[in-house]
Structure 1
């Protein structure tokens, strides 16, 4: 298994960049300690170059990196930093010796948090273009080292608030990308998992964790009692299993055959069921069609200058990942004038949402609801007065 060295940039007398209530050395330490804890939970060997506010000069930092697991290609180095210079968004630099696979994977996961990705790239030393620009990559020559810049602390856009509010989401995104890259099963902190060992049964596992066989079967979507060594079982979870249509795995089934029968792709099927591998067990229950949520309605939002998925999600009390899912977005990049579906909770729907009927105009709707046309336009971010039957309007 690959080993991870997490490097909290700067520290001690070297505070790094600072501004808008953010000090780089403090935020990189928080991010790095979070990552170390998560890698520990996932069973991945990981070490920190610093776990407190100490000064490390470049030579000491490199020596520290190499002291844990050596200088082999089985070591991944994550050098965490916060950017400055007036830009906005996430950047990641990977070594001249490495492919872009991991950097690209991390960038993709970061995008799902709502942070825009500027680029993933290689940077060369001006005095010798055969060498990497950053010493942490250049002087750890056999490792897979990456310099990760989570955002600009002096951004005039949304990076400042995102760095303060979402740094943990960014750290988790990197953990997820690295975990999947090295082929280790990934799971979130909200679930407690147990790995099935030789001689285990549902009864013995239930007894060990103070639960019941029926509960284990329910939260793991199991229809039978068969287990396989190495199988991961949820022991507890923060939410009840998804409602919807399920398929019970039969002998000879594969993810591809099940997906094809039910109008899904393999990736969609894995996503619906939080699967991290292609292994199936006979009797396993797979979600193939998630039941629609009765608690939300959908309205349309038109993207304005300065908008980001993070800002829109916050405005409508939802998440970036939910917006990306319901709009089938592959990235967090938006364009002015783009139409987005946004969910509106049922607590506000009955009182504050109006469904356009035949013959309605903004004027007639405004008059009927004791408001103004300009208020309706502002609340619904409308660029035209044209309405369509069935359209949802915030009142």
Structure 2
């Protein structure tokens, strides 16, 4: 999945990207995290590229890797994409994102070392400004399309029905935007949503809020001026609010494991750090889950949309498996871990045979049977 970062100047967005890259590098270091890293499909990109590819931490993958000692371990991944600014020129880039995080600063409220461009540190005001600009991108598109459709003259009756239907959907969307809400709250059915697929409407995707703190605010339990008001302003608009400390998390990633843990405890920093929690929150907000496959060749997490059936999940592994699907042998990860091995899970009757229409659950460990 691709998560875009949007912010006003001096909010720490570039530092957050650097921290994401540093933690991605950390995940590939031998000995970190207790699981094999050779061949892990989560090697980070250089942060200077504006895109960082990082694995999503998953203790289930790590546990399976310890059991099987495979030649390759592949976690689900997330692409962090730095969006330089908001505006029509970036609509194409925004259209390719799965989710967006608005980054606001609460750090350095006295501006002793990092001045705010507007001479004040106010996360609530920054969020509201970003949110209004974000909605305005969609409002402009929807309003413009409505005006063009209303001006359409002399069209066949059948086509007029299609235009009237699209107008009805767009007018509802406009009402939602004018209430200050994203289009993800428009409650469109699948056919109505399909009418808008050709537009680059950005607020259909989940939006998260990342609040960038400093060391002192972390030591105070994550408290900062305007916290309660920001939570109220974000309610019903964003999928999650994640506190993080980008500069500190960047520094932590460069320490050895023992020093990192001690430093984190001293500063009351919750692990996993905010960078990783933000990535996980975006993954969840997009309705994504992972099923797992395990063997001597590879242990892997496969990302699918919640509600995916077994045959479609098999297609993620290989199209031939979906085409020749016979059945899926499924065990829930928690059951497998409690049993200690696949053989013991089978002895206890925890391994199930499921058909093509079985709805895959998060954490299912699956072996597909097929014939082509």
- TM-score norm. by structure 2 comes to 0.31
The structure with more radius of gyration: 1
Greater helix share, 1 or 2?
2
Q: Which has the higher contact order (CA 8 A, sep 6+)?
A: 2
